[in-house]
Amino acid sequence: MPASLIIGACWGDEGKGKIIDYLSKTADYVVRFHGGNNAGHTVINRFGKFAMHLIPSGVFNKKTIAVVANGVVIDLEVLLDEIQMLKKAGIDVSQKLIISPRCHLIMPYHKVLDNLYEQAKGEKKTGTTGRGIGPVHADKVSYNGILVSDLLDTKLFKEKLRLQLNLKNTIIKALGAKPFSEKEILNAFFLLRKKIKPFIQEPYPLLHEALAKKRHVLFEGAQGTFLDNNWGTYPFVTASTTVSGGITHGAGVPASALSTVLGVTKAYTTRVGEGPFPTELLDKIGEKLRQTGNEFGATTGRPRRCGWFDAELVRFAKEINGLTHLAVTKLDILDTFPNIKICTGYTYYGKPIKYYQTDTPLLGKVKPVYKTMKGWLSSTKGITSFSQLPHPARIYLLELEKITRIPIAYISTGAKTDEIIKR
Ligand code: GDP
Ligand code: IMO
Ligand code: MG
């Protein structure tokens, strides 16, 4: 069982954390390779309930080494809080967490700038998580970033910080906010450095050795395909590459190393933040999905927008990521719906149109074409075998498989890790 990638097939929050916790039972390594603490991956297992933001969701298994690879942007305070949270729950990561020295640091000014840009955009805002993700990536690609390795070199860190504060404080003051004190940031970061230092190690040779020995390496995608900076609904996207190719620049591993690319999708669709959403339900049904599915963000607590399953999106996710299988989560949330719709494709002024033929404003105007399926009106909660599912639920899943043209390998029937069907 060599390398597999678990990736969001929609707009994030598909239930990746749960699937990764389940699959990591056999994993030697679990690797986060992009995004930052904008991610919130929920895991509910024998240790408790956790919202994982930076440490990979596979950390709960004794023999699994958790790697935060170079593509991840790190807020050190959040990382240390997460280490503490795990310690309290009985998981000691001191011998099993590796942080790449190449990761970029989310600095306090990135978070302030994120919020100032959103305020300046007003109604046109992206609806970011406010964690500094856009600004830290902007600094990375414009050669203004500060890396974890810089933190280990006091002189270099001070020089880089001084230069950045000259630039950032100018912008921050112009936008009417309070500038940062160099001394305060230095003091805070030198304290954080002490705690983080034992975890810093280049994971590249470990991952390549593991792949060569055919060990099981699990890559944990964050966000989702349609939040990708290039292929998502720009500018209502995130700053990183969320599609499968991201493992090369984010973890130093060739995409050809992957034997499985598992796309995770809910049995319906959700999105948090702004941007087009063709199957969004702004009616009672959407509200029922939100309440039944407890659709409130794991990172910001914001209500998620809800709609029917969108096969056009998932087919595109298959093509661009090379999905080999699907995991369908939250089937149980549909238990009380008498009719369930599947969007089989879009039209624009009566003519069929594909996702890739749209730009963001146009995607906001397409009309979904629906196929209506019969609901099952009985509980699927906690079911662990396909044959035990009510007949209409099986028909629904087989229809999803047919329309997306992707085999469904896992069906999740509850939030707990063991509430799952493996086919
Ligand atoms: P992620 O970001 O992709 O890891 O997903 P989130 O954790 O942000 O959101 C998924 C939510 O759905 C979490 O609250 C999970 O506990 C929950 N969840 C995942 N799978 C299932 C399922 O099959 N049934 C139910 N009822 N909840 C689920
Ligand atoms: P997980 O890994 C859902 C969304 C934000 C916003 C846009 C940009 O839990 O699936 P950012 O803070 O990244 O600059 O925000 O991206 N977003 C997510 N939506 N799940 C996530 O992560 C997300 N991470 C970012 O809501 O629309
Ligand atoms: Mg999430």
Percent of all residues in the chain with a pLDDT value above 90, rounded to a whole number: 98
pLDDT attached to residue 2: 81
**Residue 1 in this model has a pLDDT that exceeds 70:** no
State the ligand closest to the CA atom of 421: 1
| Domain limit, last residue, from 243, 261, 279 | 261
From ligand 2's centre to the CA of 233, what distance in Å?
12
Are residue 124 and residue 40 in the same domain, yes or no? no
Are residue 309 and residue 326 in the same domain, yes or no? yes
CATH number reported for the structural domain that contains residue 110 in this entry: 1.10.300.10
Are residue 159 and residue 173 in the same domain, yes or no? yes
41 is catalytic: yes
104 is catalytic: no
Instruction: Report the residue among 6, 21, 34, 38 best suited for mutation to probe ligand 2: largest number of ligand atoms under 8 A from its CB.
Output: 38
Residue reference for tokens 């699907």: 326
d(CA 314, CA 304): 19
Query: How many domains does the structure of the chain reveal?
Result: 3
| Domain limit, last residue, from 209, 237, 261 | 261
d(CA 308, CA 269): 6
| Domain limit, last residue, from 208, 227, 261 | 261
Are residue 85 and residue 219 in the same domain, yes or no? yes
Are residue 394 and residue 247 in the same domain, yes or no? no
pLDDT attached to residue 299: 80
Average pLDDT over residues 36-41: 98
Are residue 339 and residue 283 in the same domain, yes or no? yes
**Residue 164 in this model has a pLDDT that exceeds 60:** yes
pLDDT attached to residue 348: 98
Are residue 180 and residue 210 in the same domain, yes or no? no
Are residue 241 and residue 297 in the same domain, yes or no? no
From ligand 1's centre to the CA of 168, what distance in Å?
37
Distances (CA, A) of 134 to 73, 139, 174, 273: 10, 9, 19, 14
- 258, β-bridge pairs: 3
Question: Pairing between strand 420-422 and 408-412?
Answer: antiparallel
Are residue 226 and residue 331 in the same domain, yes or no? no
Query: CB under 6 Å to ligand 2: residues?
Result: 8, 11-13, 38-41, 126-129, 131, 133-134, 222-224, 227, 236, 238-239, 272-273, 298
Condensed to tens digits (0 to 9), the pLDDT of residues 49-61 reads 999 999 999 999 9
Instruction: Report the residue among 110, 272, 296, 305 best suited for mutation to probe ligand 2: largest number of ligand atoms under 8 A from its CB.
Output: 272
Catalytic residue among 21, 28, 34, 41: 41
Percent of all residues in the chain with a pLDDT value above 70, rounded to a whole number: 100
From ligand 1's centre to the CA of 315, what distance in Å?
22
d(CA 362, CA 11): 18
Residue span of the structural domain in which 391 resides: 265-422
The pTM of the full predicted model, rounded to 2 decimals, is 0.97
Are residue 96 and residue 137 in the same domain, yes or no? no
Burial class (CB in 10 A: 0-12, 13-18, 19+), 258: buried
pLDDT category at 298 given cuts 50, 70, 90 is confident
- Which among 100, 108, 17 has a CA at the least distance from the CA of 56? 17
CATH number reported for the structural domain that contains residue 301 in this entry: 3.90.170.10
pLDDT attached to residue 300: 83
Condensed to tens digits (0 to 9), the pLDDT of residues 171-223 reads 999 999 999 999 999 999 999 999 999 999 999 999 999 999 999 999 999 99
CATH number reported for the structural domain that contains residue 207 in this entry: 3.40.440.10
Are residue 79 and residue 110 in the same domain, yes or no? no
Are residue 116 and residue 91 in the same domain, yes or no? no
